[in-house]
Amino acid sequence: MKKIKLIDIAHGRSGDKGDAANIGIIAYDDNGYEIIKKYLTAEKVKKHFEGICHGKVERFELPNIRALNFLLHNTLGGGGTVSLMHDAQGKTLAAALLKMELEIK
Amino acid sequence: MKEKIRIASGQGFWGDLQSIPLQQVTKGPIDYLMMDFLAEVTMSIMQKQKKRNPSAGYARDLTHILKDLLPHIVEKNIKVITNGGGANPKACVDEIVNCAHKLGIRGLKLGVVSGDDILDSIDGLMKRKAGLKNMENDREIHEVKEKLISANVYFGARPIVAALKKGAQIVITGRTTDTSLTYAAMIHEFKWKWDDWNKLAAGVVAGHILECGGQASGGNFLGDWRSVPDLARIGFPIAEAYPNGDVIITKHPDTGGSVSVETVSEQLLYEIGDPINYITPECIADFTSIKLEQVEKDRVKVYNVKGKPATDLYKVSMAYHDGYTAIGNLTYSWPDAFEKAKKADEILRIRLKDMGLQFDEIRTEFLGVNACHGPLAEDQKDFNEVVLRIGVRNHSHHEVEMFGKEIAPLILTGPPSVTGFAGGRPKPNEVIAYWPALMSKKLVKPIVEIVTT
């Protein structure tokens, strides 16, 4: 078992889709993609964003570009101009996800 | 047929860098300039402007930009495709005609795409079973019909291609999809068939890469952002498109920024949902099929894109008035900056309660502490300064206005070493809520007209 910081093996970008945030995470190399594909599950992401994401988390794989896309529902305080959040468009959430540490076997 | 065309991104949103369109037409060869001005909130702002003034309601930036651009695009025969017509493409074209005449440019053909605005025909559409249920929560349209500010169908590339076919050098549209501004050029130049799904999808992917301007060429890049050179003089992306659907993303030489597999990958993932089904009016693109290859410095090949048949529905974006918000900020400094900010929040909430004011939501955030990442923010002890940011939302204008009056008094009647209230009282902002829906394509037809200067 060893710990890997997600920020050391991946980068990403996030934005809004209504009240949902989308977070794309891209591994820098094939090995990194194998790690995120195996360990960066929708459940882990949901737990990471406890208190921030109040809905379900969907995960999609894009192996050709070594990426995962996450949709975090009910996350942006209503979205658009309804939201009172400073980051109402979820622009900083990709960075927040990169804080995660993965325990890999 | 041309062996390739170069489509340049000129604007990624309404308010983007004003110098870019001229840079794109003068710093190297291009065939098309696409400019995206519309976000969801933009249409409702423009619709309100149009209500106040029938000759307003489009992106004024566009006509300012075109003043400098027109002589160059005429000389170099560059075509321009833009959705800057917003809620009033016809008024936008009138203004461009005025511009052209002032510059002595005659005989320039302008294409106008309209018909997307369905605000005044909702009742008729409902009788024809348009549905228009909110696609996120299944609510019925009659709940908000009286409060609607704007309602627009997202047209795709078809009407733009029709305008190009009629000889338009500049195509001004209302609400068309952002991606269509790019792939319409590819369909037109390469005579792609409307059922050549893979090629259409390749065009959509190119459009998605270009539609946010500098976000594909090193802007907002979360990888090794320090490695991106000269962002001050960033070059916006250019799609070099080939008849077989292959596209090379690049930028002009002697500009800043960077086009790499990493910068392009980040943009590919921006604001997407299910990547297998990226739905557009003309096809469904499969983003999982996309392959990227760095062929040279600042040149990334995008290929292998697969597509599927389009649906028989248009997306409709509606906006309605839904109450008011106001947000106040106060800055507290060392010592005990965070503690003071928390105390001020507590005092303010007691005062609001004592006044009998109630809100649908009150939200407090501490900028510098954890406004961005909430509970994921690192624990720190000694902040030099913390910004208290407190926002309220309510359907009553009065309550929100009263809240605005309670912020400044905290400076003289709350915790010490507070500053940052130069902007005056927070004023109520109108909340514009969205109503995304789907509607049969049979119920609405785009209108394509040609105006000659």
* pLDDT score, position B307: 98
* pLDDT score, position A5: 97
How do residues B154-168 score in pLDDT, each as one tens digit?
Answer: 999 999 999 999 999
Cβ partners under 8 Å of residue B25, min gap 6: B8, B33, B69, B72, B73, B76, B78
B322 C-beta neighbours (distance < 10 Å), count: 22
B392: nearest CA in chain A?
A: A84
* pLDDT score, position B226: 98
- Interchain contact, A64 vs B436, CB within 8 Å: no
Task: Answer yes or no: are the C-beta atoms of B165 and B62 closer than 8 Å.
Answer: no
Q: What stretch of H or E contains B184?
A: helix B180-190
For residue B367, list chain A residues with Cβ-Cβ distance below 8 A: 86
* pLDDT score, position B424: 86
Task: Answer yes or no: are the C-beta atoms of B70 and B105 closer than 8 Å.
Answer: yes
Assess whether pLDDT exceeds 80 at residue B239: yes
* pLDDT score, position B39: 86
| Domain extent listing, chain B | 5-116+154-311, 322-434
How do residues B302-345 score in pLDDT, each as one tens digit?
Answer: 999 999 999 999 999 999 999 999 999 999 999 999 999 999 99
| Domain extent listing, chain A | 2-104
For residue B224, list chain A residues with Cβ-Cβ distance below 8 A: 11
- Interchain contact, B269 vs A95, CB within 8 Å: no
How do residues B41-93 score in pLDDT, each as one tens digit?
Answer: 888 889 989 989 999 999 999 999 999 999 999 999 999 999 999 999 999 99
ipTM of the modeled complex? 0.98
How do residues B177-216 score in pLDDT, each as one tens digit?
Answer: 999 999 999 999 999 999 999 999 999 999 999 999 999 9
pLDDT band at B380 (very low <50, low <70, confident <90, very high): confident
B317: nearest CA in chain A?
A: A18
The domain defined by B322-434 folds into Alpha-Beta Plaits (3.30.70)
- Interchain contact, A24 vs B274, CB within 8 Å: no
Do strands A10-17 and A2-5 pair parallel, antiparallel, or not at all (unpaired)?
A: unpaired
DSSP class of B135: T
